[in-house]
């Protein structure tokens, strides 16, 4: 079956494909479609944004859809940047500007505990959804280190580690990251169900009233 990943972010898509690797499930992205609606992420939580994206795009594409919303919460900043992580420094999304703003905000702060959070939502083509969460605890440093990853990775040191996410190779990061934890929970929660879902042409046949053979031969 085809599973739509609700993102245009190439870096995020690469991470998801590396972790959510299941036989018989083909992962495709919004970039594979000419016209799918842009979803405004205006929720107050990561969960609400992930569910909104998954449901709207699943119903628009008639495909099972996996969506994530993730971001950074810094305790000394009252949980900022939170759901505004991608656009912390304003529009358009600019990772360097976001990091510069974060460094300026934590200057002089002794306690810089932080966590990356990731909500993963799955929606059926009919709009029924579920969500799981993953978090990775760590702290914020005051100077970027490393060139891998994206976003706030050069400023985030996971608990128990000396390297930032951006100094780790992909395999190391994908063992402990918030997205890896959430995706592994998604596999545990929904994996067997997804593997048993009917193929896309079977779903089309049921909707149209035609035989599965008719649809598969088109």
Q: List active site positions.
A: 69
| 40 closest CA partner among 49, 31, 32 | 49
Cβ contacts of residue 90 below 8 Å, gap of 6+? 97
Within 10 A of 201 (CB to CB), how many other CB atoms are there? 16
Rounded to 5°, the CA angle 97-99-100 comes to 65
Cβ contacts of residue 24 below 8 Å, gap of 6+? 1, 195
First to last CA, the chain: 17
Q: Tokens 């107050």 sit at which residue?
A: 44
Q: Which residues pair with 134 in a beta bridge?
A: 118
Assign 133 to helix, strand or coil: strand
Q: Which long-range contacts (CB under 8 A, 24 or more apart) does 191-197 make?
A: 191/22, 194/1, 194/3, 194/22, 194/25, 194/64, 195/22, 195/23, 195/24, 195/25, 197/1, 197/64
Cα 90 from Cα 16, distance rounded (Å): 26
């Amino acid at each position: 079956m085809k599973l739509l990943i609700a993102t245009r972010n190439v870096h995020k898509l690469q991470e998801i494909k590396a972790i959510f690797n299941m036989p018989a499930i083909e992962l495709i992205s919004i970039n594979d479609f000419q016209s799918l609606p842009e979803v405004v992420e205006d929720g107050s939580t990561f969960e609400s944004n992930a569910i909104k994206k998954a449901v709207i795009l699943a119903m628009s594409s008639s495909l099972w859809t996996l969506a994530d919303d993730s971001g950074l919460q810094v305790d000394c900043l009252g949980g900022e940047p939170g759901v505004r992580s991608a656009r912390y420094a304003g529009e358009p999304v600019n990772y360097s500007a976001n990091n510069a703003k974060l460094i300026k905000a934590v200057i002089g702060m002794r306690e810089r505990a932080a966590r990356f959070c990731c909500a993963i939502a799955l929606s059926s083509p009919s709009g029924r959804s579920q969500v799981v969460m993953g978090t990775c605890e760590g702290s914020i440093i005051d100077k970027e280190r490393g060139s891998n990853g994206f976003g706030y990775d050069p400023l985030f040191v996971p608990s128990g580690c000396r390297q930032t996410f951006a100094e780790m190779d992909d395999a190391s990061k994908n063992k402990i990251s918030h997205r890896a934890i959430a995706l592994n929970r998604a596999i545990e929660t929904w994996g067997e169900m997804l593997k048993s879902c009917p193929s896309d042409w079977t779903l089309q046949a049921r909707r149209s009233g035609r035989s599965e053979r008719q649809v598969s031969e088109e």
